[in-house]
Amino acid sequence: MGVILTRHITSSSTGSGASSGVFTSAEKLSLEMEMEFKAAIPSYYKELQYTNGDLTNIGIWFDSSKVTKLFNKDLLFSGGNLSQTLLTRITDSSKILKLFNYTDGNLTSVTVSAG
């Protein structure tokens, strides 16, 4: 699927962050796609699918004719919790996979891979 993204910001003895501030190409792709998807939701035709009351798919189309699909987002649930999302940008088939991990019902980590 590509590179696994992890970005930890920690404080050094001087109080500045340990991160260099430079994003990897996978992080850039992830940020770009997330921003495009969020901007497309209110602007374009969307189709929502539910399974057992859970939102399981969001399709974003250019218009209601559904000729040109822009994005597809699949959501998978396990034990009542969102366990993963897969966002696909249709124009170039780029994907962002997010895996959500829980401990005692509390979200403890999110692992993101892009490619």
Task: Indicate whether 4 belongs to any domain.
Answer: no
Residues of the domain holding 103: 23-114
* Apex 75 CA angle, 72 and 76, nearest 5: 145
Helix residue ranges, H only, 16-85: 25-43
What is the token pair recorded at 82? 């969102």
Question: Does residue 8 belong to any structural domain of this protein?
Answer: no
Domain membership of residue 93 (yes or no) is: yes
CATH number, domain containing residue 88: 2.40.128
- CB atoms < 10 A from the CB of 61, how many? 19
Q: Could you tell me if residue 10 is inside a domain?
A: no
Structural domain tally of the chain? 1
Is pTM beyond 0.85? Reply is no
The answer to whether position 9 is within a domain reads no
Amino acid identity, residue 65? S
**For residue range 69-115, what is the model confidence (pLDDT) as tens digits?**
999 999 999 989 999 999 999 999 999 999 999 999 899 998 888 87
Sign of the alpha-carbon torsion through 88, 94, 102, 18: negative
- Cβ pair 96, 86 in contact under 8 A: yes
Decide: 99 and 5 in contact? Cβ < 8 Å.
no
pLDDT of 35-56, one tens digit each? 998 988 888 999 999 999 999 9
Q: How many CA atoms lie within 13 A of 5 on its CB side?
A: 20
Adjacent-strand bridge partners of 96: 87, 114
**Could you tell me if residue 104 is inside a domain?**
yes
Asked if the structure places residue 86 within a domain, the reply is yes
Is the predicted pLDDT of residue 8 greater than 50, yes or no? no
Domain assignment of residue 68, yes or no:
yes
Higher per-residue pLDDT: 107 or 16: 107
